[in-house]
A and B are shown apart, each in its own frame.
Chain A
Amino acid sequence: MARVQIICPECSAPLRLSDEVIDRKKVRCPKCETVFRPSEDNLDQSDSALLRRRAERSHSSSRRSDAPDRPGPSRSKHKSQKSSASLVVATAVIGLLVLGGVAALAAVYWPEKKPNQPAVAAANNDGTPRLPAPPMPAKAGGTGTEIGQTALEIDGEDIDGKRFKLSDYRGKVVVLDFWGDW
């Protein structure tokens, strides 16, 4: 997963974050402590790699809203044609952004549902299709917080001050959910 630069909307401090958090999570600025949800508005516009990925995503969402089907940006693998290839990609990206904008406008002005829309079951909240990563094979990966590792022990208190541990739930499938109500 790639890291991108986000600008804090409060104090303008730059934050390096995983691009996975964009539009999905709230983060806390280490400098001014403001909690905010990073979006494309906070994106450092010089981050071209992310812009390209966002354009690809807007391409897939424009497909979902029944926009005209056009071929996506094709990334050239030939190094010798790199500059012309990136020009093509850039043009395609701009084209897709316009297409995405048109699709968004269309969604605003013609919001009626088509009968044959794809099922939302395999899509994220933002409409991008995403399947779970394949489960990792069981192997000794040590203890930690990464996929494949035995989950780090949590020994803490519940809201009523009663002590319990994450490992109390061994033998059960556990969804560990970090949350806050603010």
Chain B
Amino acid sequence: MYPHERSLVKRLEGKPFALIGVNSDSDREELKRVLVQKQITWRSFWDRGKDGPIAEQWKLDGWPSIWVIDARGVIRYKDVFGPEMDQAVDTLLAEINREN
């Protein structure tokens, strides 16, 4: 998972795109070590554990879970992984260009 996300972030550097995590680990200090060790450069909300308030509000059914949100804040795809994630993001980036 991490290498793919890293390459997505790198590929879209400078584009109107952001990868935002919601992390469900409970140990904050351990998590900080993981971020360095696994080169997780993108920003995450910290949800304080598997029962966190964000996971509850978003009715999370497991990990990993993906939501792809367009530039207007509308949810457009759910649980797209691998090449599909890239495809979904590219589709929505193209949409911004069409609107401008």
> A: which residues have CB within 8 A of B?
17-18, 20-21, 24-28, 35, 120-125, 130-133, 135-136, 138, 141, 144-152, 154, 156-159, 164, 166-167, 169-182
Q: A25-B61, A174-B68 are known contacts; what are 16 more A-B pairs with Cβ within 8 Å?
A: A121-B83, A132-B91, A135-B77, A135-B92, A136-B76, A149-B75, A154-B45, A154-B54, A157-B45, A158-B46, A159-B35, A159-B46, A170-B71, A173-B70, A176-B66, A180-B25
- Cα distance, A115 to B93, chains bound together (Å): 34
Closest to A170 in B: B73
Residues of chain B within 8 A (CB-CB) of A176 are 20-22, 66-69
B73 near A150: Cβ-Cβ < 8 Å: yes
- Chain B residue, CB-CB nearest to A145: B58
When chains A and B are docked, how far (Å) is the Cα of A124 from the Cα of B76? Answer: 19
Instruction: Name the CB-closest residue of B to A131.
Output: B84
| Cβ 8 A contact of A132, one of B31, B71, B87 | B87
Once the chains bind, are B54 and A167 in contact (CB under 8 Å)? no
**Known contacts A141-B74, A147-B78, A150-B73; is A177 also within 8 Å of B64 by CB?**
yes
B32 contacts the other chain (Cβ, under 8 Å)?
yes
Q: Is the beta-carbon distance between B75 and A147 smaller than 8 angstroms?
A: yes
Min Cβ gap B76→A in Å is 5
Contact status A175-B75, CB under 8 Å? no
Could you tell me the distance in whole angstroms from the C-beta of B61 to the nearest C-beta in chain A? 6
Q: Given the known A-B contacts A124-B82, A151-B74, are A158 and B69 also in contact in the complex, defined by CB atoms under 8 Å? A: no
Q: Are the C-beta atoms of A25 and B20 separated by less than 8 Å? A: no
Query: Which residues on the B side are within 8 Å of A175 (C-beta)?
Result: 5, 8, 17-20, 66-69, 85, 89
- B29 to chain A minimum Cβ distance, whole angstroms, is 10
A141 to B74, CA, bound (A): 9
Nearest-CB residue, chain B, relative to A17: B61
Q: In the complex, A153 Cα to B64 Cα: how many Å?
A: 20
